[in-house]
């Protein structure tokens, strides 16, 4: 299994995003949280800023849309050249149609679930997806404490993915750190969003490397 670290820039210096992205050359991608103060009670950057980021870096852009009317807005991020676009199933009126549209625009289609949203009702959708994102905190704010209660859902999702036989990434987002990443990897996650842990470190890139090594070690046990 290939393991990926995709740091979130939510906790980076938002006045110098290109510089902050340049501080994590070992990362497998850059996780960008888009919030609209409707789906979640917080407001962050949107498509114009993402387009500027796209123009300034060749890094793999992993967009996480925590927004209402996601069916309307998500395709714009794929059209802007972002490699992966994640929509929340709780905000989508037609998730299969949206996933197919994202793929048709050249992006990886990813579906996110809040901690309390079960994976089982969406088992038949997995073949339409390139990644499933399981939130390990309530979406909307960085720096929250990891919710261990999501670990069984990670295991169940990994089992459902295995049944499809497809190459579907399983991402976790929220409270991922040196204290929690091994539990996530052991449960079956292969792609890890770490925001505070990376950008609060003295050397963010060294933290990226350390997190990946911990995840690899956990999978080897």
- The reported pLDDT for the residue numbered 152 is 98
SS3 141: coil
- Give the three-state DSSP class for 86: strand
Per residue in 132-149, pLDDT tens?
999 999 998 777 899 999
Among 9, 11, 39, CA closest to 21: 9
Q: In what order do the strands lie in the sheet containing 169-173?
A: 4-5, 191-193, 169-173, 131-135, 108-113, 84-88, 61-66, 30-35
Q: Do residues 5 and 169 make contact, with C-beta atoms less than 8 angstroms apart?
A: no
Domain count within the chain? 1
Task: Tell me how crowded residue 109 is: count the other CB atoms within 10 A of its CB.
Answer: 25
pLDDT score at 217: 94
From CA 30, how far away is CA 9, in angstroms rounded? 7
Judge contact between 7 and 195, C-beta under 8 A: yes
Annotated binding site for a divalent metal cation: 31, 33, 64, 173
pLDDT at position 85 is 98
0.95 surpassed by pTM: yes
Q: How far is CA 7 from the centre of its chain?
A: 9
Mean pLDDT per 10-residue segment, the chain (221 residues): 94 93 97 96 94 96 98 98 98 98 98 98 97 95 88 98 96 96 97 95 97 94 77
Residue 169 has a pLDDT of 98
- In which domain, by residue range, is 152 found? 4-220
Taken in order 164, 60, 78, 193, is the CA torsion positive or negative? positive
Q: How far apart are CA 57 and CA 24, in angstroms?
A: 12
Q: How far apart are CA 10 and CA 176, in angstroms?
A: 14
User: Which amino acids are annotated catalytic?
Assistant: 33, 173
Q: How far apart are CA 48 and CA 37, in angstroms?
A: 17
Q: Which CATH number goes with the domain that contains 59? A: 3.20.20.70
Q: Cβ(185)–Cβ(154) under 8 Å?
A: no
pLDDT recorded at residue 142: 73
What pLDDT is recorded for position 141? 76
Please report, in range form, the residues annotated as the binding site for substrate. Answer: 8, 64, 140-143, 173-175, 195-196
Distance CA 143, CA 196 (A): 6
Strand intervals (E) in the chain:
4-5, 30-35, 61-66, 84-88, 108-113, 131-135, 169-173, 191-193
Q: C-alpha distances in angstroms, 80 versus 2, 26, 191?
A: 27, 24, 23
């Amino acid at each position: 299994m290939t393991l990926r670290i995709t740091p979130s820039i939510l906790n980076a210096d938002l006045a110098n995003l290109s510089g902050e992205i340049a501080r994590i050359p070992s990362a497998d991608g850059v996780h960008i949280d888009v919030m609209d103060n409707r789906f979640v009670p917080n407001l962050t950057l949107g498509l114009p800023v993402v387009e500027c980021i796209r123009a300034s870096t060749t890094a793999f852009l992993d967009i996480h849309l925590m927004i209402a009317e996601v069916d309307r807005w998500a395709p714009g991020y794929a059209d802007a050249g972002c490699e992966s676009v994640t929509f929340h199933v709780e905000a989508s009126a037609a998730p299969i149609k949206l996933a197919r549209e994202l793929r048709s625009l050249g992006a990886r289609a990813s579906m996110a679930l809040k901690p309390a949203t079960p994976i089982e009702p969406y088992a038949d959708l997995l073949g339409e997806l390139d990644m499933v994102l399981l939130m390990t905190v309530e979406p909307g704010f960085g720096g929250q404490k990891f919710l261990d209660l999501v670990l069984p859902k990670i295991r169940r999702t990994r089992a459902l993915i295995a049944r499809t036989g497809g190459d579907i990434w399983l991402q976790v987002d929220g409270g991922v750190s040196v204290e929690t990443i091994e539990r996530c990897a052991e449960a079956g996650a292969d792609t890890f969003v770490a925001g505070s842990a990376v950008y609060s470190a003295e050397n963010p890139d060294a933290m990226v490397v350390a997190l990946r090594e911990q995840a690899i070690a956990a999978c080897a046990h």
